[in-house]
Amino acid sequence: MLELIDVDKGFSLEGTTTKILSGLNLQIEAGDFYAVLGPSGVGKSTLLSIMCGLDKPSAGDVRFNGQSIVTADSQQLVRLRNQAFGFVFQSPYHLNYRTVIENILLPSIYSQKYTRAQALERANYLIHYVGIEGLENRLPANLSGGELQRMVFARALLLEPKVIFADEPTGSLDKANSEKILTLLTEQSQQGCAVVMVTHDHHAASYATKVLNLYKVEEFDTENEIKILSDKAKQA
């Protein structure tokens, strides 16, 4: 489904190019739950941005269902981000002057996939699914951190994405709320949605079926290592 082929990424700063990713190859299929691990500054978030088409690699290709998203035009990328990808950020970004239900409905505003009634029906289902029923008409300012993150999760699922990108989704949550979010991500992967989660937390990574360990290029000559947690994959 999502394929990374010889992906390189470097940044130029004051005439010096710093390479972050080098020759990365990865194949993500429906139902995969990838955890991307590695120390700070290794390029985890950059990798996530490249995978979802928000950033471009310096070399190599990223393909979704066989189509390159590196060479796709901005309209195709907009459509892809809207209909095929879902995003859960570390900070639960939202529109603070819109109610919970309006925030969840946000992707449908930019999509023709559902009618307004269909989108509303799906949003109501997701509100129950993530466990924030009764909060639909509240403003986000009146929600706790965990409730906000679940609202964002419901928003990410609204248009039934094929891949969910989660960047440190439990980074600002307590243990109980972290467990809820990780359980929801696991359920999604079990239902056939691919999940790519960037995390520092090894406990969070233990929910994943596959782990991608990123190392600094200069420290690890064989570059990146992919560890398949075969026993967990079997359990799934």
Q: How far is the CB of 91 from another protein (least distance, A)?
A: 6
**Within positions 185 to 224, which residues make up the interface with another protein, using CB under 8 A?**
none
Question: C-beta of 94: minimal distance to another protein in Å?
Answer: 7
* Residues 154, 126 contacting (CB under 8 angstroms): yes
Please choose, out of 43-51, 189-197, 200-208, 226-234, the segment that lies near another protein by the rule CB under 8 A: 43-51
Q: Which residue, 107 or 146, has its beta carbon nearer to another protein?
A: 107
By CB under 8 A, name the one of 4, 26, 47, 48 that touches another protein.
Answer: 48
Site string for another protein, 56-85 (x = CB under 8 A): ------------------xx--xx-xxx--
Q: Cβ closer to another protein: 1 or 139?
A: 139
Kindly state whether residue 54 participates in binding another protein, applying the rule CB under 8 A.
Answer: yes
Nearer to another protein, 63 or 98 (CB): 98
Residue 97 in the binding site for another protein (CB under 8 A) = yes
Please give, one letter per residue, the 3-state secondary structure of the chain. Answer: CEEEEEEEEEEEECCEEEEEEEEEEEEECCCCEEEEECCCCCCHHHHHHHHCCCCCCCEEEEEECCEECCCCCHHHHHHHHHHCEEEECCCCCCCCCCCHHHHHCHHHHCCCCCCHHHHHHHHHHHHHHHCCCCCCCCCHHHCCHHHHHHHHHHHHHCCCCCEEEEECCCCCCCHHHHHHHHHHHHHHHHCCCEEEEECCCHHHHCCCCEEEECCCCCCCCCCCEEEECHHHHHHC
Whether the CA torsion 215, 217, 219, 224 is positive or negative: it is positive
98-127 residues in contact with another protein (CB under 8 A) are: 98, 106-107, 109-111, 116
Q: Give the residue, chosen from 34, 167, 181, 199, that forms a contact with another protein under the rule CB under 8 A.
A: 167
Nearer to another protein, 139 or 229 (CB): 139
In this structure, what token pair is assigned to residue 236?
Answer: 């799934």
Which lies closer to another protein via its Cβ, residue 200 or residue 232? 200
Binding residues with another protein: total (CB under 8 A): 30
d(CA 79, CA 9): 24
**C-alpha span between 188 and 32 (Å, rounded):** 10
In the complex, least distance from residue 230 CB atom to another protein, rounded to whole angstroms: 31
Residues contributing to the site for another protein (CB under 8 A):
45, 48-49, 54-55, 74-75, 78-79, 81-83, 87, 89-91, 93-95, 97-98, 106-107, 109-111, 116, 155, 167-168
